[in-house]
A and B are shown apart, each in its own frame.
Chain A
Amino acid sequence: MSKEETIQQELIKNFAFLEGKIRIARERRIFIDVPADKFMEVFDYAVKKMNFNYLCIISGLDEGENLSFIYHLAQNYSIVLNLKITLPKTNPVVRTVTGYFPSCELYERELEDLLGAKVEGLPKGRRYPLPEDWPAGQHPLLKDWKPENLPESNSGKSN
């Protein structure tokens, strides 16, 4: 059995609801759709018990009615586990993972700034990456956002 299949079996053994949701794309790449309410459990297990000790990045996606966040975790820098959580746009709240990975604070701020996510537990701090005078409520990476949405006063094209 390959290493990826071993990981798949172990996850299904501990979290039966993941049956059918784990996809091995190729060697060293596993994609999993995790139900939102069980996400932190699976995340915690993968990081603490399966040695997925490195977080590459968090990708945010706009999927129409929902927002998805994919946490890309690596085991010994090699096999990458991609955990995807899907939340409705009306309530896109996730818990912070800075407790596990202190350096992911910037990635989470980016989700808040560019997609409008709400990350619970994130310490107060300056926004990132958008400039300070960017108006609230404008999230550029959403599919229906266009630069024309910006109010005239913020177009920055004054002389």
Chain B
Amino acid sequence: MAKVTIPIGPQHPALKEPASFNITLDGEKILDMIVKVGYNHRGIEKACEQRTYIQDMYLIERICGICSHTHSTCFIQAVEEIAGVQMPKRGLYIRTLVAELERIHSHLLWLGVAGHEVGFDTLLMYSWRDREIVMDLLAMLTGNRVNYAINTIGGVRRDITPEQIKTTLAQVDVLEERTKYYIQVATEEITLIERLSKVGTLSHDDAIRLGAVGPTGRASGADIDVRRDDPYAAYADLSFKVCVDNHNDVLGRTIVRVSELMESYKMIRQLLKNIPEGPVVVKVPRKIPAGEALSRYEAPRGEDVHYVKANGTDKPERVRVRAPTLANVQAVAAMLKNGYLADIPIVVAAIDPCFSCTDRMMVSMKDVNASKENVIDWKTLRKYSIDWYRQNRGLDLSKIKISKRW
């Protein structure tokens, strides 16, 4: 059969971010895939050099709206390391608390998006409704639903009151009940399991070789987690399990993420039970002495790396950001090889891509003799995917009944 290349994007309703994929097909099977991004490249690293550290904090927070605390903390940690600051424990605990709340909101967001990609819109509405609980908690603790700006050099900007601790613990209990239900859906609902099993497979060896990080790597058996392997903030004081799964496919990635939600609830309880008294911030001089530091952070999507070099002034010499999606996107082409066209939406969504963190993207292209070029938009591809699975595998996820308990 003739090979066809289909360009998709950059405008598509699925990922809410501009990205373009060139897929080379042989009938229904995918031979090769090129991911082209770059639409989000804003020149942030250059802008950082022209602003002071405090101004950079606000800029770096806006690398990505979903993991804003990630980037802000990772950057601030590097700066604090260069400045040689002795961090106050209470400040670190609050930072970690917001970090885990962010992980919860991000995983619930992903659950909804993944449900939407396979045609399970009820899950989207339910998980995003539950996500509002987390958004309210974050707004209560930090003042904003998104882009919290809780960090400052030397600690955090707000303290936490006993009433807020009580409210947080109560809401975490509610979330845990609801997450138990999502775990049940992910592990027992036959339709969903059949839809997600054996889709987007990434073997353990490929995951290590291609450097997959975060839940994408852990779902392929890679036992990696920066919180345990390279502890930062208050993680050295917490006891938690690293959720590793061996399914190697999208189902594995789903199970890893909902399991991580349960671990986050446990961590939040530990943090709030053991939070020490004391100041939440220490004073740090505006001019950071010369030096360099590499800071790593376990974002909801994987390992986030910031390298900062200081030169004694109040502006950094160099800021280098590597977001987790950049490490994972290489694996997408491997996941889709020999897959079906109908699998593309969910496989790409399963790495939880955050193209704005990545700022840009592109993977090498092997030019195949394209006889015909067809332009297809993402919604059509998504609809095609849902219809294909309904007709060829008898899987209709819109028929899944959600419990009326909630």
Contacts and interface: CB of A to CB of B under 8 A. Distances in A.
Asked if the two chains touch in their complex, CB atoms less than 8 Å apart, one says: yes
Contact of B41 (A57, A78, A80, A129): A129
A106 B330 CA distance: 9
Contact of B307 (A28, A70, A102, A143): A70
Interface residues of A, number: 41
Give the secondary structure class of B's interface: mixed
Contacts of B320: 57, 59-60
B305 A28 contact: no
Interface string B331-355: 1000000000000000000000000
Contacts of A82: 294
A29 B294 contact: yes
A59 B318 contact: yes
Interface string B295-315: 010000001010101000000
Interface string A96-116: 000001110111010000100
Contact of B230 (A80, A126, A128, A141): A80
Contacts of A136: none
A103 B210 contact: yes
A105 B364 contact: yes
Interface string B271-309: 000000000000000000000111010000001010101
B326 A61 contact: no
Nearest to B326: A106
B365 A129 contact: no
B362 interface: yes
B359 interface: yes
A128 B360 contact: yes
B23 to A, nearest CB: 16
B230 A61 contact: no
Interface string A125-157: 111111100000000110100000000000000
B235 to A, nearest CB: 13
A149 B392 CA distance: 57
A20 interface: no
Contacts of A43: none
A54 interface: yes
Interface in A50-93: 53-57, 59-62, 70, 72, 74, 76-78, 80, 82
A31 interface: yes
A140 B318 CA distance: 13
Contact of A129 (B224, B226, B359, B363): B359
A53 B208 contact: yes
A21 to B, nearest CB: 15
Nearest to B38: A129
B292 A77 contact: no
A59 B309 CA distance: 10
Nearest to B210: A103
B178 interface: no
B229 A77 contact: yes
A48 interface: no
B258 interface: no
B361 interface: yes
Contacts of A109: 362
B36 interface: yes
B322 interface: yes
Among A103, A105, A114, A126, max chain B CB count under 10 A is at A103
Interface in B3-47: 36, 38, 41, 43, 45-46
B330 to A, nearest CB: 4
A125 B294 contact: no
B305 A72 contact: yes
A78 B305 contact: no
A101 B211 CA distance: 8
A26 interface: yes
B365 A78 contact: no
B45 A141 contact: yes
B38 A102 contact: no
Given A78-B229, A80-B230, A82-B294, A102 B210 contact: yes
Contacts of A61: 309, 317-318
A56 B305 contact: yes
A25 B365 contact: no
Nearest to B327: A103
Nearest to B317: A61
Interface string B113-126: 00000000000000
Contacts of A128: 38, 360-362
A28 B230 contact: yes
Given A74-B230, A128-B360, 5 more contacts: A61-B318, A102-B209, A114-B45, A126-B364, A129-B41
30 contacts: A25-B81, A25-B293, A28-B230, A29-B293, A53-B208, A55-B211, A56-B303, A56-B322, A59-B307, A61-B318, A72-B294, A74-B230, A77-B226, A78-B229, A101-B211, A103-B331, A105-B330, A106-B363, A107-B322, A123-B364, A125-B362, A126-B36, A126-B364, A127-B362, A128-B361, A129-B359, A129-B361, A131-B38, A140-B46, A141-B45
